[in-house]
Amino acid sequence: MNVLIAERISAGERRGSSRPVVVETSSGARIVKLRGAAQGTGPLVAEIIVAELADSLSLAVPPRSLIELPAAVEAANWDDELQDLLEASVGLNLGFDFLSGALDFTPADVGKVSTEERATILWLDRLVVNPDRTERNPNLLWWSDQLWLIDHGAALGFQYSWKRVTESSPQEQAPPPEAHLFESAAHSDEFRFLDDKLAAQLTRDVLETAVAAVPDSFLLPMLESHASVYPASQLVRRRAAYVAFLWKRLRPPRSFLSARPPSAERVRGKRPAWLTKG
């Protein structure tokens, strides 16, 4: 990803615990997710990995860039909360191309989306454990006669509790808190037909490339405190762990096809070799 310098904060919007801002750069406006928001850089990691995988499945996601936020960037409308957030976000942040004139997707639009596209989006969201595409919060936009996927920061929830990951964790599929917007596609012939095709597109090389797109500065804050002694080796291991987790989710039989919790009791005890080996 290319790196752009934030020249001015022209607008901000409140979304749950995050507060994306519109940033002016030499290459135009970008919607920027900030590293200083509530969950830190974890959502930025998820945004990048999921977007890269979506690209590989020919789903539209706004192009990404890294946004360098200077310590004294100009902002149109300062308030104490925004000032604190910007101060906590100095350095690299994640930007998306600003889709000017984009329209929000509503549940009434479901019929406008082909069954194949609905099935593909549902399949990807189940793979990356994304709970945040519902009727209440579709996280989809219409722009340039195309459907665009946005806001994947809630995906990959396992990255916040690596110590609890076991050998069976990648195959576990707990029910989401709300039904997926395209849940009905799970019962379509296309969903089962597309499964092998989509899984074949996400090769291990594709997973490695997706994880490699995440800058070190987004992963470092998520390492255990002792990792600062050997950050380079810890970063290599952490990237490999993301790849291994997703690769194991892709192994047949894929538990996320049914979206039901596993019947076998979760294996406890030792952490898996693919997570602990250096």
> Mind listing the pLDDT tens digit for each residue in 89-108?
999 999 999 999 999 999 99
pLDDT of residue 231: 87
Judge whether 225 lies within some domain: no
pLDDT of residue 83: 86
List C-alpha distances in Å: 7 to 30, 69, 110, 118.
Answer: 11, 8, 38, 38
pLDDT level of residue 268 (50, 70, 90 thresholds): very low
Task: Write out the two tokens for 103.
Answer: 């329209």
Alpha-helical runs (H) found in the chain: 42-56, 80-88, 115-127, 189-201, 204-212, 216-219, 231-250, 273-276
Mean pLDDT for 35-46 is: 95
pLDDT level of residue 48 (50, 70, 90 thresholds): very high
Domain containing residue 13: 3-97
pLDDT of residue 49: 99
Expressed in angstroms, the distance from the first to the final Cα of the chain is 27
Burial of 152 (0-12, 13-18, 19+ CB in 10 A): buried
Please give the share of the chain, as a percent, with pLDDT higher than 70: 88
- Contact status, residue 107 vs residue 181, Cβ threshold 8 Å: yes
To 5 degrees, how large is the angle CA 189–CA 249–CA 244?
A: 150
> Rounded to 5 degrees, what are φ and ψ at 18?
-105, 165
Judge whether 69 lies within some domain: yes
Judge whether 162 lies within some domain: no
Judge whether 49 lies within some domain: yes
Chain-centre distance for alpha carbon 205: 18
What gap in Å lies between CA 64 and CA 69, rounded to an integer? 15
Task: Average the pLDDT over each of 9-18, 196-205, 217-226 and give the range with the smallest value.
Answer: 9-18
pLDDT level of residue 265 (50, 70, 90 thresholds): very low
Q: Residue 25 pLDDT > 80, yes or no?
A: yes
What gap in Å lies between CA 171 and CA 260, rounded to an integer? 11
- pTM of the complete model: 0.91
Structural domains in the chain (count): 1
Judge whether 166 lies within some domain: no
Judge whether 13 lies within some domain: yes
Judge whether 17 lies within some domain: yes
Judge whether 207 lies within some domain: no
pLDDT of residue 17: 52
List C-alpha distances in Å: 253 to 11, 238, 275.
Answer: 46, 25, 21
